[in-house]
Amino acid sequence: MCSQVIDIRQSFASLRLNKKLRHREIARFLGITEAELVDAHVGVSKLTAMKSSPHLARAIRLKTPYSQLIAQMERLGEVLALTRNEYGVHEKVGVYEHVSQQGEIGIVHGQAIDLRLFYKHWAFAYAFEEGKEDALQRSIQFFDEFGTATHKVFLLPDSDHAYFNEFVDDFSALNQDSGIQVQEKGLTISSCQFTLPEKFSMNEFQRDWSQMTDSHEFFELLKKHALNRLMALKVIGNHFAQALTVSSMRHVFEEAKEQKIPLMIFVGNRGAIQIHTGVVQKIVDAKGWFNILDPGFNLHLDIQKIDQIWLVRKPSKDGVITSMELLDDQGEMIALVFGERQLGQPELPAWRNLMEQTLDDQSNRELSMVD
């Protein structure tokens, strides 16, 4: 076994036990990816892990196809599903019900857990066991080709831990030696430094936007006109997109809570999107993070890293669909918020009124400051 793997394991145990750092933070501290951090624990036997108590840690590399792994999650019973990006974390407790697949996209459409999984961006999968105080935390973790986590499933005390062991036996990969090769990410350009494509036509773009019949057509719209999300929002005009402030974002959540307007809150990355639907109950600000801490659902947003917030109006056959979109300084999505709606139904008038009133109030405050 190479000395680097041993060093990673020892550093992981020390930083978890003494500094209480999360996996993501430890990987960043060590200058490796989170997938490499987890993979360093492949090959640790259960006996060796037990001897390392109180900070047991071992990983079992899992085989593909990933859709088969997700199809088994329901048998674990109630678990915690976690999907995140750099600045947003979405945690949901429930059962992986109604699992299906459309092409390379996996769908989980349970009563509590609602996911869209983009398997083409999944490259590594592990079962992970870790001692935490007197308990054993078990999870199943998925990563993309860059070593970034796409989705995680954490067992809870009442989950089926016996099936976890069976799952590991059934889906372990043949190769259980530490060591993976992750790809390096290319350079990104700040969203503040973009130029429109040479053949871009504003008239055609506005026409195509106005003719959307489904909000899902937005991605094809961006592709057709060679724009990223932020470019599109900045150039489309106030009729379809207008910038909001952080204070306006807070107001939207607070008012939705007070008025009991059910929301749909999306957080995702290139490999997964996780959705919560319901009325917000508890909002907490702590250490620079905006948090929703509800039974069975937690949302964590790094306020300092939210660079752009937009009110967006997308036409559909069911009428205009209004969203609040939170982006980072690269124009990447942190979170999307809609009013609750079912396909084929118009959006909630209360949600649209809240968004439009929030925009009006913001405009009035800005005018009063000028005066």
- Could you tell me the sign of the dihedral formed by the alpha carbons of 197, 199, 203, 209, in that order? negative
Spatial separation of the C-alpha atoms in residues 244 and 246, rounded to whole Å:
7
In this predicted model, what pLDDT tens digit does every residue of 117-170 receive, in sequence order?
999 999 999 999 998 777 789 999 999 999 999 999 999 999 999 999 999 999
The gap from C-alpha 4 to its chain's centroid, in whole angstroms, comes to: 30
State the pLDDT at residue 215: 85
pLDDT of residue 47: 58
Q: For residues 276 and 262, what is the distance between their CA atoms, to the nearest angstrom? A: 10
Cβ proximity of 322 and 353 under 8 Å: no
| Domains of the chain as residue ranges with CATH | 3-96+122-171 (3.40.1570.10), 202-370 (3.40.1570.10)
pTM of this structure: 0.94
CA dihedral in degrees (293, 295, 299, 303; nearest 10)?
Answer: -10
Query: Where do we find the tokens 């089926």?
Result: 160
Name every residue whose Cβ is closer than 8 Å to that of residue 130 and which is 6 or more positions away in sequence. Answer: 16, 55, 56, 57, 136, 137, 138, 139
SS (H, E, C) 265-276: EEEEECCEEEEE
CA distance 315 to 336: 17
Q: What is the pLDDT along the chain (371 residues), one digit of tens a residue?
A: 577 998 999 999 899 888 889 999 999 999 999 999 999 999 998 756 555 555 579 999 999 999 999 999 999 999 999 999 999 999 999 999 999 999 999 999 999 999 999 999 999 999 999 987 777 899 999 999 999 999 999 999 999 999 999 999 999 999 999 999 999 987 654 544 568 898 999 999 999 999 999 988 999 999 999 998 999 999 999 999 999 999 999 999 999 999 999 999 999 999 999 999 999 999 999 999 999 999 999 999 999 999 999 999 999 999 999 999 999 988 899 999 999 998 889 999 999 999 999 999 998 888 777 65
